[in-house]
Amino acid sequence: MMSDRTIGILGLGIFGSSVLTALAKQDMNIIAIDDHAERINQFEPVLARGVVGDITDEELHKHFNGVPNQKIIQYMKNNQATKEDIDYYSKLKEKYYRQFCKEDQATFHLVEGSYDYFKQLKDQKIPFTIASASIKENIDFFVESFHLDKWMKVDDIIYDNGTYQNKIAMFKDAALKLNVNIKDCLIVEDSKSGIENAYQAGCRQIIVVNSANNKKEYEKMPGVIKVIDDFKELL
């Protein structure tokens, strides 16, 4: 009997194949997309469907990176996702995300210089917080893992509570939490959609962490004043 749960995996690289291996032990149908036929063939026995293809950078940027889970899930299910679907897949997606973070200690850390930058902001009495497309469980995980409560008020953190359509409103709510006009805020982002949302929210001082090695493109985007590799560049 086929499961009534279906999940899609975009890309079967190191991370994607690890997710697939874990999901294969669960009672669900798995659809995988990868541009290498040999990877699809490798996992064919556990796939409900394997597609040799690719997702465009534009599609990834518009529908996945820095986007609240409900929007991602609706896109994946052609806007037919129920509230139960969104809740289930959102929690499942982030559960595996946290699991793989724990297993990959070599890369699971804040950007270099973060703690020194936090200290500088606190010493100068500059209020700051986080506006994230992550769900509450992930925020709690990050706070515990990186001791963020030492640097900021956890109650001020804005996260995906299921009511946000994008990060525009999140940035505005974060500014309200800090009692600061959004035009006076400096926002640090690491995705194209996040940069665009920050600008649309009214911010004109955006710093980008170049995690995607896309510095030239980031520098051309409205509102971007600096692209950095780590926070030591801001000290």
- In 3-state terms the chain splits into helix, strand, coil percentages (rounded to 5) of 50, 15, 35
Q: What is the pLDDT of residue 2?
A: 45
Cβ atoms of residues 160 and 91 within 8 Å: no
pLDDT tens track, the chain, 235 positions: 445 567 778 778 766 777 788 778 777 778 888 878 888 888 888 888 787 776 666 666 666 766 777 878 887 777 888 888 888 888 887 887 888 788 777 888 999 999 999 999 999 999 999 999 888 999 999 999 999 999 999 999 999 998 888 899 999 999 999 999 999 999 999 988 899 999 999 999 999 999 878 899 999 999 999 999 999 999 9
Query: ∠ CA(19), CA(20), CA(24), 5° rounding?
Result: 120
The kind and range of the H/E element at 6 are strand 6-10
Q: What is the pLDDT of residue 141?
A: 95
- CA–CA dist 228, 218 (Å, integer): 10
- CA–CA dist 45, 74 (Å, integer): 27
Please state which CATH class domain 6-103 belongs to.
Answer: alpha beta
- CA–CA dist 181, 164 (Å, integer): 20
For 114-234, CATH number? 3.40.50.1000
pTM of the predicted model as reported, rounded to 2 decimal places: 0.73
3-state secondary structure 152-195: CCHHHCEEECCCCCCHHHHHHHHHHHHCCCHHHCCEEECCHHHH
Tokens of 207: 């710093």
Q: What is the pLDDT of residue 5?
A: 67
**Residue limits of CATH 3.40.50.1000 in the chain:** 114-234
Q: How buried is 70 (Cβ within 10 angstroms: 0-12 exposed, 13-18 middle, 19+ buried)?
A: buried
Amino acid at 34: D
